[in-house]
Amino acid sequence: MTPVTQSNIARHELIGAHINVLRSQTLGNVKIEGDVVDETRNMIYISNDQKIRAVPKNGTLFCFTFPSGLSVEIDGKKIVGRPAERTKKRRRQ
């Protein structure tokens, strides 16, 4: 499998990555931090020590940190879609 980069993050599995919400249309979602525990077409579920929070992908800027230590910022609208289908898609640059 190819390593995760800014340009190919949409084709990788996001569950298990550490995530920070940098910017969001919903002010209550800003600065949420934790691990991605689930993902649906439009939502990412983030777990911290206290609870699991659902954050919409569209309208949100995320910073993912992968176990390899790589940190990648991405606009959520680029990762909207079912995870199984999104990882198979080819994206134009």
Tokens of 47: 């777990």
Report if residue 93 sits inside a domain. Answer: no
Report if residue 33 sits inside a domain. Answer: yes
Judge contact between 60 and 25, C-beta under 8 A: yes
The CATH number that applies at residue 13 is 2.30.30.210
> CA–CA separation, 48 vs 89, rounded Å?
30
Total length of the chain:
93
Judge contact between 6 and 70, C-beta under 8 A: no
Task: Taking residues 3-14, report their average pLDDT.
Answer: 77
Q: Per-residue pLDDT tens for 13-71?
A: 899 899 999 999 999 999 999 999 999 999 999 999 889 999 999 999 999 998 878 89
Write down the pLDDT at residue 87: 67
Judge contact between 64 and 34, C-beta under 8 A: no
Report if residue 2 sits inside a domain. Answer: no
**Domains identified in the chain, total number:** 1
Whole-prediction pTM: 0.85
Reply yes or no on whether the pLDDT at 89 is more than 70: no
For residue 64, what are the domain limits?
9-86
Task: Taking residues 61-83, report their average pLDDT.
Answer: 90
Write down the pLDDT at residue 1: 60
Report if residue 3 sits inside a domain. Answer: no
Report if residue 51 sits inside a domain. Answer: yes
